[in-house]
Chains A and B, each alone.
Chain A
Amino acid sequence: MALLKSYLTPDFLIERNKDRCIQCRVCVQQCANEVHYYDDEDGEVYSDEMKCVNCQRCVTLCPTRALVIRSSPNELRKNANWTPEVIRSIYIQAETGGVLLTGMGNDRPYPVYWDHMLLNASQVTNPSIDPLREPMECKTFLGRKPASLVFENGRLKEKIPPQLELDIPVMFSAMSFGSISLNAIKSLARAARQEGTYFNTGEGGLHKELYPYGENCIVQVASGRFGVHSEYLEAGSAVEIKIGQGAKPGIGGHLPGEKVGKEISETRMIPEGTDALSPAPHHDIYSIEDLRQLIFSLKEATGYQKPVGVKIAAVHNVAAIASGIARAGADYIAIDGYRGGTGAAPLRIRDNVGIPVEFALAAVDTRLRNEGIRNEVSLVVAGSIRSSSDVVKAVALGADAVYIASAALLALGCHMCQKCYTGKCNWGIATQDPHLTKRLNPDLGAQRAANLLRGWKHEIQEMLGGMGINALESLRGNRLMLRGIGLTEKELEILGIKAAGE
């Protein structure tokens, strides 16, 4: 069939300042999408805007700041219902007949509830604390805690179950080797070690070069069971069963065969060049009882020495599900909200499935408390934690810690162009192309990711101090420290917080 003429027009306009451009061709060398090209005859660099994804690699590296990329000024006739995105989607599907794919998190203008919550600060009666002069404890432990402390002969009677010790309540979320490059994972692994926290293997197994970072690693067991063997389970500090992902609840993973090179094939334990399909359901889990079996199989496999967690996407009945997971013996539950990122997701799923993690967290924490089992499980929230204030608000709402992924990738250089699924990440992050992966030097990446954590830690300490609290543990679930702004009665009720002014 002959190709139809495309009705698509460029998304972006590339402006090249001729007075500044020195024809050095750095932009030509750096664009994996081959937007820029040098014309020998004219001795000038030109750009093909049709191919531009606005990753800003050329803009950032241009030594004379000669490039500006803007949204294309071409406008379709104004229509509040048939927006340019909707029309564009239809053109793409009319040309391809395929499912619309996208990368990174939900970018629809749904309310961000973190931004509708304000933190309290101490004033006269209960003085604030200066974190520069007073110790400010940011340490936290993930894992089942005893219901009460019983002492015998002056010693704690109950044996404390295995715990994860975090110097900062922020961990790097699950991103598999395959979805991101080995250099990206190395960067996160080193940063996690440096700052006393954890990174997560995702469903891709643990590359042999990362075994030395096992102490700072949470190993994931997903439906595909990629790379899962006893050594792998032993290598990590905790094991996480992945049921769902915030960006695409109810949808499985798929790493195309062309990305499965030698290293990924060895790590995932699948033949080179084959698609790595992890189905949405685990085919041995159809009930909470089945999940319990897997949890205890993994505990048995690791000699009851490591916490076993379960990661789910935030969906409508998340509180009941979490209660079941807690009762199934999980040591922590990770709840991933609808803004969570991904390397590739069907666009309509990403943008329309799931619920805000703020509500999910509040609902789960409330339910577990009402059932008297909150101590049996730690809560980790994920899905677009953007800043230290989001972390503090999450902890006040009831989280023990948070997972960050998009923020971590941004620290490594990601520019959110949402084209991860093409495998042409110009920043060397979401790609396996050796020409592109070398763009991320893990020495620099680790430094940037660690700097981010350190910056957040300082800010968390400042905010705690401002509230007159000297330990993160004292803020957990302390919803009186939060006030809602611009929220309905019902939203305030679900979040379990008062309105500003109350």
Chain B
Amino acid sequence: MKKVYAREEYCTGCGLCQVHCITAHSPYKDNIVKAYKKTFPRPLPRVIVEEQRPVSFALQCRHCEDAPCVKACITGAMQRDPATGVVNNDESRCVGCWTCILVCPHGAVARDERGKKAASKCDMCSGIHEVPACVAGCPNGALEYRGEREKEA
């Protein structure tokens, strides 16, 4: 399946991927200002920019084939879409036990405690955009959306 790959050597740590991720997961998908100023609670970014200069990269769910979070989920909220391979969290079923966070080897699931307690994670913008918003919004080509075997550009 296609995944988002970080090219650490070109990540500038600007955080625009987070801005575009938040916007894509808000009710105002094409308006960053409204997404930030009129959405309460504002969604968490599902991509995390890690930085210790000069190293920086944007991390998001790897949608593991043998996903530990899916196995560990006590309510079955964490599910892999058999068609697309995307691991998604059904927030209506999530009870906020945070087991997924404990087992995720990448640290790619976050606690969203502002509304109903629910794990927040990358959904690859399924049903929102064809290309994940973080990839489309990266100004330096530091995020790539490609198949595992496709050579890096």
Contact = CB atoms under 8 A, between A and B. Distances in A.
Interface string B123-153: 0000000000000010111100000000001
B16 A438 contact: no
Which 4 pairs, one residue from A and one from B, show the smallest C-beta to C-beta distance?
A22-B36, A435-B54, A434-B54, A441-B10
Contact of A435 (B15, B16, B53, B141): B53
Main secondary structure of the interface of B (DSSP, over half): loop
17 contacts: A22-B19, A22-B37, A24-B16, A24-B19, A26-B14, A26-B15, A26-B19, A29-B14, A29-B15, A30-B12, A61-B14, A63-B137, A64-B33, A438-B11, A439-B10, A440-B140, A441-B142
B20 A441 contact: no
Contacts of A444: 140-141
Given A24-B19, A63-B19, A435-B53, A29 B141 contact: no
A23 B33 CA distance: 10
A438 B54 CA distance: 9
B36 A439 contact: no
Mostly, the A contact residues are loop
Given A24-B19, A26-B14, A438-B10, 4 more contacts: A22-B37, A434-B54, A439-B140, A441-B10
Contacts of B64: none
A64 B54 contact: no
B32 A61 contact: no
B81 interface: no
Interface in A426-458: 428, 433-435, 438-441, 443-444
B68 interface: no
Given A63-B32, A443-B141, A444-B140, A438 B9 contact: yes
Interface of A: 19-20, 22-26, 29-30, 61, 63-64, 428, 433-435, 438-441, 443-444
A410 to B, nearest CB: 17
Contact of A25 (B7, B15, B20, B137): B15
B114 to A, nearest CB: 16
Interface of B: 7, 9-16, 18-20, 32-33, 36-37, 53-54, 137, 139-142, 153
Given A438-B10, A443-B153, A24 B54 contact: no
A332 B33 CA distance: 56
A29 B15 CA distance: 8
Contacts of B14: 26, 29-30, 61
A443 B11 CA distance: 13
A439 B56 CA distance: 11
B140 A441 contact: yes
B53 to A, nearest CB: 5
A229 to B, nearest CB: 29
Contacts of A433: 54
A63 B12 contact: no
Given A22-B19, A22-B36, A24-B36, A438 B153 contact: no
Nearest to B152: A443
Given A61-B139, A433-B54, A444-B141, A439 B33 contact: no
A63 B142 contact: no
Contacts of A22: 19, 32-33, 36-37
Contacts of B10: 438-439, 441
A19 B36 CA distance: 11
A434 B53 CA distance: 8
Contacts of A435: 13, 53-54
A22 B18 CA distance: 12
Contacts of B9: 438
Contacts of A440: 140
B121 to A, nearest CB: 21
